[in-house]
Structure 1
Amino acid sequence: MKESDKNIENLIEKMMAESSLESPSIDFTSKIMSQVLIVEKSKIKTYKPLISKQTWILIIGALVALTVYAIASGNTTDLKINELYVEKVSDLFSGIHISTNIIYAFLVVPFMLLIQIGVLKNYFNKKYQL
């Protein structure tokens, strides 16, 4: 076992003596860094909206078609929406009493939420600046 280790060691020493020390090319670092940048750019995810443009077009088209159908299908001069439904809706909600504090909360909370979204967006844009 020791004899084979000595033979291997002698072989390695002989190979090391015959080979010369290689140095990298002058632009070695720039080549490596360009490859790193290419790999990093490929890892970046591009923005994809939740709802695609085709879906938005389909939704808008459906709403327009529904509106056109509703207008074309009935005689719009004889629609008496006020007489038919206002009384039913007012009877439905007549027993509900909402305090002014709740009304103020419904008005202020969305406004404050929008402010917080803006502040957090600016914070994270600065923190994770690309």
Structure 2
Amino acid sequence: MKESDKNIEKLIDKMMSESTLESPSIDFTSKIMSQVLAAEERKIKAYKPLISKTTWIFIGITLTALTTYTIYSNNDISNFEIAKTYSDKASALFSGIHISKNILYALLVVPFMVLIQIGLLKNYFDKKYEL
């Protein structure tokens, strides 16, 4: 084993002594970096949200239409026995809970404020980390 290692080492020494030292060209680094940047640009995919803007608009319009229809419709839900049964159970379940006006206002306003902050933070980070 030692003899084969010595033979390999002699061969490597001989090859190294015969070869000359080559130095790279002056613009070697810039050429390599341009190739790296070109390769990275091909790998970068454009950001595509999971839910598109048109889908969000459709969802918003649908929810608004359903809410408006529910508020302004003349249908009396209490005429249906199933609805009456469930409404009686729900009113019995929540009859002991008293919510102050301040808590009610907070429950109505806080979700909208959170949504506004999410939008503002998203825009901030999009501008900060844009490519």
Q: If the length of structure 2 is used for normalisation, what is the TM-score?
A: 0.52
Partner of 2:8: 8
The SS at the match of 1:17 is helix
Q: Aligned pair in 2 of structure 1 residues 3, 49: CA closer, same or farther (>3 Å)? A: closer
In 2, the alpha carbon distance for the partners of 1:30 and 1:5 equals 40
- Deviation string 1:60-117 (CA, Å, 9 cap, x unpaired) is 9xx8xxxxxxxxxxxxxxxxx53x43876xx869x57764234302332023203431
Moved more, 27-36 or 115-124: 115-124
Counterpart in the other structure of 2:76: 85
Write the distance in 2 (CA, Å) between the matches of 1:19 and 1:98. 88
Q: Which runs of 5+ in 1 are unaligned?
A: 64-80
**1:119 Cα deviation (Å)?**
5.1
Deviation readout 1:21-43 (Å, 9 max, x if unpaired): 01112221112111221232233
Quick one: higher RCO (CA 8 Å, sep 6+), 1 or 2? Answer: 2
Tell me the equivalent position of 1:24: 24
In the alignment, the residues of structure 2 paired with residue 51 and residue 118 of structure 1 have an alpha-carbon distance, to the nearest angstrom, of: 15
Local SS of the residue matching 2:50: coil
Q: Measure the CA separation in 1 of the matches of 2:48 and 2:120.
A: 23
Residues matched between the structures, number: 105
> In the superposition, relative to structure 1, how do residues 120 and 39 fare at CA in structure 2: closer, same or farther (>3 Å)?
same
Give the counterpart letter for 1:47 in structure 2. Y
Matches within 5 A, 1:1-130: 1-51=1-51, 56=55, 82=74, 84-85=75-76, 99-118=100-119, 120-121=121-122, 124-125=125-126, 128=129, 130=131
| Structure 1 residue matching 2:76: 3-state secondary structure | helix
Structure 2 portions without partners, runs of 5+: 63-72
Question: TM-score by structure 1 length?
Answer: 0.52
Code of the residue aligned with 2:34 in structure 1: it is S
Percent of pairs with identical residues: 71
1:16/1:107 Cα in 2 relative to 1: closer, same or farther (>3 Å)? same
- TM-aligned CA distance change 1:22 to 1:7, over 3 Å: same
